[in-house]
Structure formats: structure tokens, C-alpha cells
Amino acid sequence: MAKFIPLSIPNFEGNEKKYVDEALEQGWVSTGGAYITKLEDKMAEFLHTEKVAACQSGTAALHLSLVEAGVKPGDVVIVPALTFIAAVNPVKYQFATPVFMDCDDSLCMDPVKLKKFCEEECAFTDGMLTYKGQVVRAVIVVHVFGNMADMVSILETARQYNIKVIEDATEALGSYYTDGPLAGKYAGTIGDFGAFSFNGNKIITTGGGGAVTASDLKVVEHLRYLSTQAKNDPHYYIHDEIGYNYRMTNLQAALGVAQMEELSVFICRKQENYELYRQHFEGFELGTLSSFRKGTFSNKWFYSLEINRDKITASMRDIISSLEKQGVQTRAIWGLINEQLPYRNDAAYEMEKAPYYAERILNIPCSTQITKEEIEIAANEIKNVLRGYAYE
């Protein structure tokens, strides 16, 4: 068998070992230490925002955002159906109720349906939006695979109906608007809250980790407070609120600072590699490489191929396992969250594109250190396998 080409693996070409060693030598391994603030400062600078709070995971960042947005038991939170389940689980941690929204052709939340849902299915009285008698408190918007959602429309609807916007930018660190009223604004710095992840497969990693930001600086301070057990001061055990053990550790942050130093290079490689794939798949009739929203710059974290279902009926499982045998690791897009066991009783609004794309999107190898030759091999194997499944 030829060399195995993985879907997405971390890349440690920089100062990772040096910084982690330093943290170990200094004994700062836990939730205190200079690397944590250093990482926060670097991120804030990169995102052109004032403040960021580093935390344990993207999931923790989302959970803290919901807490801070005032999401309480019985509230409604509008969420995407087609995304990673970590974007939605924190809604249940708050004993709130998700309402699943369809995606548009960008794979991100459909802004037209979101507006229509608020207009036609909800009531708006005294500045409060309710759905079946429950307060609609927030909407979670995911920038899928680094492609930015239509934030202009979504923000407009959210402001009109007084609901908080939580951006799940876990996949979109480095994506930003280039045109329109949001030009220059980075994913995660547009809504009321922005969540980031540094899990192993994200564009940069701290092993596990995340960060959260908010449009209001005092809110970022408070998020940090909540993430450190809501400890009022360093020395006396006074706690005025229920806190969480969600703070990032200095060991993770040491890794993160080294990764932040390389982020621009990684984003650059993602662009170049996407362009290579684009050339390989140009004119290919059985699959189309997905593109990114006009008027934005995407970090191009993940590349996806839309399988032409008019010509190929083989299951994703069969396609993926055939490719695996050829040494090319691919993955299907997620299963719809509203169809997962814990979510089957929750409302899903006019699902149409999410199920459509759920059976068509295949993610293909996209590590930053993938070579030109490996991209060619991967593209050819993918084409061969799909041709093998196609019928005329």
C-alpha cells in the first residue's frame, strides 16, 4: 500500500517543544502562568479585538457564552442542524431547548429561514421573542469549515428580535470579511460572543483548548472570572457566583503561543493546497470542490467535495472505506444533530439543505504539511474511487 495520507494532523514545526519545556522547567503547568496571558494577547492582536479569555476547550467557550448570555432552563436557543454536536450540547447543559435551523449552500445557517422562523413561528412582545411560550435567548452560528456565515443578515435579524449572537468560530480562526459593512471583521468578533477551539484537528492546536471573546470587554473579564471557579481574588476563598474549572493551563498555552507564531504560515498553506485541489478537480463531473463565501477571506481550514448524487449512489461509508484502502483518509460531514438520539424530540425548522448536504459532502486530506505530490495522489485516488462507483 502507498503512503497513508491522513485527513488532518497537527503541525509542530516551530517553538512548541521549547515553550512547553520552559513551562515545565518553571513549574507553571496549571491554570496560572505567563503563557496563558501571552496567548490571549496574541489572539486579541491577531483578531483585532481587545480581549480574549483562554479556556479548556471550544465546548467550554460555548458553554460560558451561553451562561453569560443569560440562557436559562426552558429558554430557546436557535442552532444549526448540520454541524459538530459540540456546538449544540452546551444548550442542554443549561437545560435550554434547541431549535434546529437549516443551512444554505454555504453549509452555514440559512439567514432567510432564520428570519422567517422569527417572523412566522415566534411572537415578539415587549422586546422579547418567544417560541411556544419560551423565550428565544440566543442563536449559535457556526462558520463551517472556515467558511463564514452571512453575518450581515443574521445580525440584522438578531438585533431586530433582541436575541444574542454566539459565533462558533472554532473552525474559522483567521477568516474575516473583506467587503461590505463587516469588512475587516474576523470570525468570532462580530456577534456578542465568539468561541474558538484548539483541539488536535483545528488550524492551530494546544492538544485540547479554546478561547472566548465578547464584544463587551467587561463581559470578557467576567467570562474569565467564571472560568476560574469565580474566584474573587487570588488569596482568599470568596466566590460570589457559581464558577467553572474552564481555564486553559499554562502547558496548553505554551503550545498555543508557538502555534500562534505559525498561524499565518498555516493559513497560507491552506490557501495554496486548496488551489492545487481546485486545479485537480476542475471539470471533474462526479464531485465539486466547495467554495467559500464571496466578500470574505477564509482560513480554508477544511476542504470538502460535493459528490454528484445523480451519478453516484454508493453510501459515504463505502466511498470512505474504499479510499481508506487506497491510503487516503476522508470523512463524511456530520450526521444531522436533530436526528441524534438526545435531540430527536426537539424542533427542526424546514430542513431541506442540511439533509441534502449531509449525504453529499466528503472532507478530503487538508493537513498543513501535506505535500504537492500527496495532494496529487489523494485527488487521483478520490477521482478513481468515485469513477468506480459511477454509472452512466
Contact set with ligand PLP (CB under 6 A): 57-59, 83-84, 86-87, 142, 168, 170-171, 197, 199, 210
Which has the closest alpha carbon to 58: 222, 195, 207? 195
CB nearer to ligand PLP: give 169 or 257: 169
CB nearer to ligand PLP: give 83 or 189: 83
CB nearer to ligand PLP: give 40 or 171: 171
> In the bound complex, which residue of the shown chain has the CB atom lying closest to ligand PLP?
58
Residue 162: other Cβ atoms inside 10 A: 14
CB of 291 to ligand PLP, least distance (A): 19
CA atoms of 134 and 347, how far apart (whole Å): 13
Q: Per DSSP, what are the bridge partners of residue 193?
A: 166, 214
**Residue 319 in contact with residue 331, Cβ under 8 Å?**
no
CB nearer to ligand PLP: give 86 or 114: 86
CB of 85 to ligand PLP, least distance (A): 8
**Which segments within 75-209 are labelled E, that is strand?**
76-80, 97-101, 123-125, 128-131, 134-142, 164-168, 176-177, 193-197
CA atoms of 179 and 297, how far apart (whole Å): 9
CB nearer to ligand PLP: give 8 or 197: 197
Q: Residue 223 is placed in which grid cell?
A: 467570562
CB nearer to ligand PLP: give 122 or 337: 337
User: Terminal CA-to-CA distance of the chain, rounded, Å?
Assistant: 30
CB of 59 to ligand PLP, least distance (A): 3
CB of 197 to ligand PLP, least distance (A): 3
**Residue 123 in contact with residue 129, Cβ under 8 Å?**
yes
CA atoms of 359 and 309, how far apart (whole Å): 9
CB of 308 to ligand PLP, least distance (A): 26
CB of 196 to ligand PLP, least distance (A): 8
Q: Per DSSP, what are the bridge partners of residue 99?
A: 78
CB of 88 to ligand PLP, least distance (A): 9
CB nearer to ligand PLP: give 80 or 122: 80
